Amino acid sequence: MTNMVALITGANKGIGFATARQLGGLGMTVLVGARDAERGRAAQQELRDGGVDAVFVPLDVTDAGSVAAAAKLVEAEYGRLDVLVNNAGIVLADGARGLPSETTVATLRRLYETNVFGVVTVTNALLPLLRRAPAARIVNVSSEVGSIAVMTDPNGALFELTSVPYPSSKAALNMLTAMYAKELRDTPIKVNAANPGYCATDLNGNGGFRTAEQGAEVSVRLATLPADGPSGLLWGFQMDAGGGYGVLPW
Ligand SMILES: NC(=O)c1ccc[n+]([C@@H]2O[C@H](COP(=O)([O-])OP(=O)(O)OC[C@H]3O[C@@H](n4cnc5c(N)ncnc54)[C@H](OP(=O)(O)O)[C@@H]3O)[C@@H](O)[C@H]2O)c1
């Protein structure tokens, strides 16, 4: 799997960094998308020290100019993109639990700028380059908390969670995934949503019971799907099914 080029957003730490390391380990050139130059260069260096062909790309997914500049850079240097991992994400909530009745529109707007609108901005800017690759893969890093079926299952592990901002942003991301997959169904491009499972990263105060490397495995599997692999799925860690990997309900 040499000569493939992968762009990962939010790749300077957490699951995105681990995804860059693993895709780099497969021989891909990894473009380390990061909004902060110092953090991006530090990640680039750490990956290179580990033998990965890593290149820092300045990329703030909420800044259309930054996204356009990144796309221009990828086109100029590589002429195409084989893998896009929309990994950058944030958590915000009003009050301790993010209850619907306590949620402000201002919080939703800020959160959606990154978790939802950012994905559309990045994907649409890179799609012309993804179309130029022989068989591109798009991975949207989502979550089981974005599954309406999982969140409303009275027998499921997440039934007690009643938060609106982050889960609804991932529910929107799930729909984006399904619709991009449908639009692109007659192309070699596959679009899937990844569920990394609850991983210990800065996103959750390092409280998760899985590692970032384990979470990244899910993105890597979807980024390297064979030609007969699926498109338009939410796939990954299945808490309610005992911890294996598989398809999750929307
Ligand atoms: N950890 C979990 O349990 C878990 C579970 C399910 C899904 N996820 C998803 O996995 C993805 C990665 O999260 P993580 O757990 O690895 O969290 P993390 O360690 O906090 O990493 C998030 C990354 O996103 C970047 N980012 C945030 N806003 C950005 C922006 N506007 N433009 C570009 N990059 C931006 C951050 O950059 P800075 O360093 O500059 O802030 C950081 O590199 C997210 O989409 C998250 O929702 C995580």
How many folded domains does the chain comprise? 1
Atom of ligand 1 minimally distant from the CA of 63: 31
Told to judge if 72 belongs to the known catalytic residues of this protein, a careful annotator would answer: no
Give the CATH number of the domain where residue 157 resides. 3.40.50.720
Which residues contact ligand 1 via a Cβ below 6 A? 9-10, 12-16, 35-36, 39, 59-62, 87-90, 114, 118, 141, 143, 196, 198-199, 201-204, 208, 212
Pick from 35, 84, 248 the residue to mutate for probing ligand 1's pocket: most ligand atoms within 8 Å of its CB: 35
HSE, side-chain direction, 13 A CA sphere, residue 32:
29
State residue 38's pLDDT score. 98
Q: Which of 8, 90, 174, 210 to mutate to test the pocket of ligand 1 (most atoms within 8 A of CB)?
A: 90
Could you say which residues of the chain have pLDDT below 50?
A: 1-2
State the residue range of the domain holding 192: 5-248
- Other CB atoms within a 10 A radius of the CB of residue 36 amount to 12
Provide the strand spans (E) within the chain. 5-8, 29-34, 54-58, 83-86, 137-141, 190-195, 234-238, 244-248
**Is 166 among the residues known to form the active site?**
yes
The pLDDT assigned to 203 comes to 97
Distance of alpha carbon 123 from alpha carbon 144, whole angstroms: 22
